[in-house]
Structure 1
């Protein structure tokens, strides 16, 4: 198992470095819609940076076999929900010349979302296994997978209201995963 451990003094330096480096991500994200069709991927890198920083702050280390898959799961989940969100704006984006995964994926969006959803769930499974979570976590992944499959299968990508509804429904995916992590840690 790969564990990057720090002395107490070094630990604070690493946390400060991780925290400060997130500002580069936050500052760069708004500009990316003008340069790339993948701003949602960069948003995933940015939003989920907390997995690295939070783990280091709580544990005093970066446990790569746990934090790596957790970070990847967060990035891919962000690609799912923010691509659905981006479908609300695709007509306006075309008019003003900004880019998104919604425009890039086009008619193949649901295939891409299914792939990113699969990576999300497999990465969560691996992170849970590597952190030795108990059976409630794995049971929650069944619920999370059901919710994610439902939103991808039923979203009408041409309907702004439905895209918004499915985007908002991701609060339930997050709640299911969080509940599973907590139950897998504390009830077993």
Structure 2
């Protein structure tokens, strides 16, 4: 894939027969599981601050890592199953394992179930409230691949799914929810809409041909201020989450650094440059980890 990491271990050291399945799971494109994981880690860190703990629960952080890799892979495989005919009509996606014929439909479904089994094993390590919270996301995940055919802002539904971890870290720590994680969830949704709009800039021409709706097409020449508005909303909601738990100054400095990173993305965004769009999209891993670091340092202080 054009946006895969060059020379990734999945393309160099794994059996040739396994590589199409690893590509279904997007293993060679780790930015996806990072962006699914980061709201989980934010939430765990926010919970640690609220509980006056010296650090987020390390066991929970590890579980979220394994779960993010497994469920991002399951979601990507399911998305490819649903989109296999559309993918065949888009230059960037027509070489994916299903439209190219390297994986059968039956094999793809079996792979989805295997990855979901890993995700379920992770989820069952938590208490009943966290398990129920995790299961509540299933309907959104199953709905998302169809949204690009129906609404002009499918990134919003992606945000609802990809941000669910913002609830999970708190739910795992407290066995309940509160205003702080709800504000964190809303902030993560706005963040996802912003960065996935940047990502969609790569596909505007092909999406028009295939009839695929996206925020990049919706916003058109106003895409930069639209992304800026999403990011500004995300920062404002994050500020609300920090205020709800009376966070200390280091956490606020982390949020300031996160906001500066997002402002840099907007300032350097070129809607006509697909390669630049991919670079900025990937940079959101670093933006998210900056905020997570600020929350962790505040817990340690």
Both structures adopt the same fold (TM-score exceeding 0.5): yes
2:197 aligns with 83
1:94 matched to 2:227? The reply is no
2:275 aligns with 161
1:58 aligns with 173
- Asked whether the 8 Å contact 2:150–2:213 carries over to 1, the reply is yes
**TM-score scaled to structure 2, two decimals?**
0.56
Tell me by how many angstroms 1:13 deviates: 4.3
Tell me by how many angstroms 1:133 deviates: 1.8
Aligned Cα root-mean-square deviation (Å):
1.4
Which residues of 2 match residues 1-188 of structure 1 at below 5 A?
Answer: 12-64=127-179, 66-187=180-301
Q: Deviations over 1:31-84 (max 9, x none)?
A: 1100011110111110111122321121111012x0121011100000111000
Q: What SS does structure 1 have at the residue aligned with 2:136?
A: helix
Asked which structure has the greater CA Rg, the reply is: 2
Q: Deviations over 1:121-163 (max 9, x none)?
A: 1111111121222111111222111110111111111111000
Which consecutive residues of structure 1, in runs of 5 or more, have no partner in the other structure?
1-10
Tell me by how many angstroms 1:24 deviates: 1.0
Cα distance in 2 between the residues matched to 1:95 and 1:148: 31
Q: What SS does structure 2 have at the residue aligned with 1:88?
A: helix
1:4 aligns with none
Cα distance in 2 between the residues matched to 1:19 and 1:138: 29
- Asked whether the 8 Å contact 2:129–2:175 carries over to 1, the reply is no
Tell me by how many angstroms 1:186 deviates: 2.2
Which consecutive residues of structure 2, in runs of 5 or more, have no partner in the other structure?
1-125
Which runs of 4 or more aligned residues in structure 1 lie more than 3 Å from their structure 2 counterparts after TM superposition? 11-14
1:7 aligns with none
**TM-score scaled to structure 1, two decimals?**
0.89
Greater Cα offset, 20-29 or 37-46: 20-29
